[in-house]
């Protein structure tokens, strides 16, 4: 019996908070016992408090003392991070292939943003005062545009011997998608453009 009692007591860890609560319970019980001269009840209260604290210490798991470390791969809580760089050359080095640029756009460019996505996709966004154009490139044959809109009209153009599919409404198009056998490309315009404008954009890509 003594060995079993000793084994249980060795497994109990009394934290400073628990110790404070126990001492407070003893003081309260002692004061109550003196005021009412009911010493047996005070001892019962102490025993009850100790029993509750011991049961809690045995039953409750220990909380972690430090937060979990971040995943060094760049993924945290299932979300892939995006890396923004300052130049086309740096973007090309990061994704592992040469990234083209658009030199003939239908608006004055005020800012250019370069982003790399885990998985090897490169993105260049050209911003103007009221509109923007985004160029994406990805190794393989998957559509890199991320545009799942339903367009009523399509038109096929040719760039360097490859078929470029334009998608839009009527005679204005917002999206261009094509492949060259090694990479997939997409160009997304915030404002729909005419066939002639798209031909100019594609001719100025390099």
Selection from 22, 5, 6 nearest residue 14 by Cα:
22
Q: Are 190 and 175 a contacting pair, CB within 8 Å?
A: no
Count other C-beta atoms under 10 Å from residue 188's C-beta: 20
The model carries a pTM of: 0.62
Decide if pLDDT at 187 tops 90. Answer: yes
Cα dihedral: 150, 155, 157, 162 (round 10) = 50
Cα dihedral: 204, 96, 137, 158 (round 10) = 50
pLDDT digit string, tens, across residues 5-55? 444 445 555 556 655 665 565 566 554 554 444 444 445 444 444 444 444
Own/partner long-range contacts of 116-119 (Cβ < 8 Å, ≥24 apart): 116/82, 116/83, 116/84, 116/85, 116/91, 117/80, 117/82, 117/83, 118/74, 118/75, 118/80, 118/81, 118/82, 119/80
- Average pLDDT over all residues of the chain: 76
Residues 6+ apart with CB under 8 A from 12: 54, 57, 58
Alpha-carbon separation of residue 141 from 99, 168, 177, 195, 202 (angstroms): 16, 22, 11, 24, 19
pLDDT digit string, tens, across residues 55-79? 444 333 333 333 333 333 333 322 2
Q: Are 145 and 177 a contacting pair, CB within 8 Å?
A: yes
């Amino acid at each position: 019996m003594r060995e079993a009692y000793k084994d249980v007591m060795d497994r109990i860890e009394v934290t400073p908070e628990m110790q404070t609560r126990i001492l407070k319970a003893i003081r309260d019980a002692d004061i109550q016992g003196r005021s009412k001269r009911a010493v047996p009840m005070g001892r019962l209260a102490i025993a009850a408090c100790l029993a509750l604290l011991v049961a809690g210490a045995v039953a409750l798991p220990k909380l972690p003392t430090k937060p979990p470390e971040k995943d060094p791969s760049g993924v945290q809580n299932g979300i892939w991070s995006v890396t923004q760089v300052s130049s086309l050359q740096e973007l090309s080095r990061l994704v592992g292939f040469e990234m083209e640029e658009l030199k003939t756009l239908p608006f004055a460019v005020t800012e250019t943003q370069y982003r790399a996505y885990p998985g090897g996709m490169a993105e260049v966004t050209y911003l103007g005062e009221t509109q923007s154009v985004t160029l994406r490139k990805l190794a393989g044959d998957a559509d890199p545009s991320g545009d799942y809109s339903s367009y009523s009209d399509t038109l096929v153009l040719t760039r360097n011997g490859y078929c470029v599919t334009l998608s839009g409404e009527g005679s204005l198009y917002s999206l261009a998608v094509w492949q060259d056998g090694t990479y997939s490309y997409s160009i997304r315009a915030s404002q729909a453009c005419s066939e002639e404008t798209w031909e100019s954009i594609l001719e100025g890509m390099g």
